Amino acid sequence: MYNINVEILKKILNCSIALEEKLSKVYLSLAKKVSELSAKVLLEIIAFESEKHALILREIANLLNLALQSIDCREFLGALYIDLERVEYELHKKESLGLEELAKLLESLIIIENFAGEETYHKLLLPLIKDFISRDYFITMLIDKIVSDEKFHEKAIESIIHFSKTGTS
Residues near Fe ion, by CB under 5 A: 20, 50, 53, 113, 150, 153
Q: Pick between residue 3 and residue 85 the one whose CB is nearest to Fe ion.
A: 85
DSSP reduced 3-state for 34: strand
d(CA 91, CA 95): 8
CB count within 10 Å of CB 115 equals 16
Q: Pick between residue 6 and residue 91 the one whose CB is nearest to Fe ion.
A: 91
Q: Minimum distance between the CB of residue 40 and Fe ion, rounded to whole angstroms?
A: 17
Q: Pick between residue 6 and residue 25 the one whose CB is nearest to Fe ion.
A: 25
Q: Pick between residue 20 and residue 164 the one whose CB is nearest to Fe ion.
A: 20
Kindly give the residue spans of alpha helices, DSSP state H, lying in the chain: 4-33, 37-63, 73-77, 79-93, 99-114, 120, 126-132, 139-166
Residue 57 near residue 17 (C-beta atoms within 8 A): yes
Q: Pick between residue 101 and residue 118 the one whose CB is nearest to Fe ion.
A: 118
Of the candidates 111, 123, 141, the residue with the CA atom closest to the CA atom of residue 19: 111
Q: Minimum distance between the CB of residue 134 and Fe ion, rounded to whole angstroms?
A: 27
What DSSP designation does 137 have?
T
Q: Minimum distance between the CB of residue 113 and Fe ion, rounded to whole angstroms?
A: 5
Q: Minimum distance between the CB of residue 109 and Fe ion, rounded to whole angstroms?
A: 9
Q: Minimum distance between the CB of residue 150 and Fe ion, rounded to whole angstroms?
A: 5
Count CA within 13 A, CB hemisphere, residue 166: 8
